[in-house]
Amino acid sequence: MSERVRAGLLVVGHVDPKSQHIAGDYPELFDALLEPVDVEVVPYAVDEGRWPASLDECDGWICSPSRLSVYDDVDWISEMEKLVLELLAREKPFVGICFGHQLLAQALGGKVEKSPNGWGVGVQEYEIIEQLSWMHPPLERFKLIASHQDQIVDVPADARVIARSEYCPVAAMAVGDRAWTVQAHPEFVPELADQLLAGRVELIGADRVAVARESLQTTSHRDAIASWIATFLRAGR
């Protein structure tokens, strides 16, 4: 049995309420993802003003996805940037997912904008270009469910790209030894992604939605990424 670790989940958004009956909101999704690898998820609703009293309350930290963009004019986004920079300065383990991936880049001086190629949705495949010690099991490529139009277009000087795809050149990123981020959604399950896609045909486009929904039949590497997160958090204690 692995030693149990506590991950503070910085909740910066919510699953569409019409779809929460499938697998819950982000706290439930991340709990289902990480409970099997002995990670206890402790949610903090920072978008509602509930911040951790101390960064020592948990062994490491995860930033959730959000339907907002990191460049939106929302007060708590700038506060989240300060928090992420403090985590880096104190070398606290940090994992950013989707919005959290983009937030770390923006906080360090990178740039995030909408892709001219439109939405990246469905199961996407990414090439790993830097193997890191916590990547157990090791993979050369991985597949995850994606759902984004924004993406990192300028990588900050302090960061390095660790995974990429043709559509998403900055699919995963690392900063030092204590922070890494990924654009896709390891916490998503196919049933949730399918319902979200079904409700976004006008937004995304019928053809792209059809292809994305078909791709959900493909097995993703969500369990492997959960193992990476757990190994990473334990290494940073």
**Annotation says 187 is catalytic:** yes
Distances in whole angstroms, Cα of residue 134 to Cα of each of 224, 228, 233: 11, 6, 9
**Annotation says 185 is catalytic:** yes
Q: Quick one: which of 100, 66, 57 has its CA closest to 80?
A: 100
Residue 1 has pLDDT above 70, yes or no: no
Question: What are the tens digits of pLDDT across the range 28-71?
Answer: 999 999 999 999 999 999 999 999 999 999 999 999 999 999 99
Domains in the chain, please, with CATH? 5-235 (3.40.50.880)
> In DSSP terms, which residues pair with 181 in a beta bridge?
96, 173
129 Cβ contact list (under 8 Å, min separation 6): 161, 162, 163, 164
Distances in whole angstroms, Cα of residue 55 to Cα of each of 64, 89, 180: 17, 12, 17
Please identify which of the residues 58, 63, 98, 168 carries the catalytic annotation. 98
In this prediction, residue 237 carries a pLDDT of: 77
Q: What's the pTM value of the predicted model, to 2 decimals?
A: 0.96
Tell me what the mean pLDDT of segment 76-95 comes to.
Answer: 98
Rounded distance, CA 33 to CA 41, Å? Answer: 10
Does residue 137 have a cis bond before it (omega within 30 degrees)? yes
Are 164 and 124 in contact, with CB atoms under 8 Å apart? no
Q: Which two tokens stand for residue 59?
A: 């062994």
Rounded distance, CA 84 to CA 177, Å? Answer: 14
Question: What are the tens digits of pLDDT across the range 171-229?
Answer: 999 999 999 999 999 999 999 999 999 999 999 999 999 999 999 999 999 999 999 99
Please identify which of the residues 101, 148, 168, 187 carries the catalytic annotation. 187
In this prediction, residue 3 carries a pLDDT of: 84
Query: Three-state SS for 237?
Result: coil
Tell me what the mean pLDDT of segment 70-88 comes to.
Answer: 97
Please identify which of the residues 125, 148, 168, 185 carries the catalytic annotation. 185
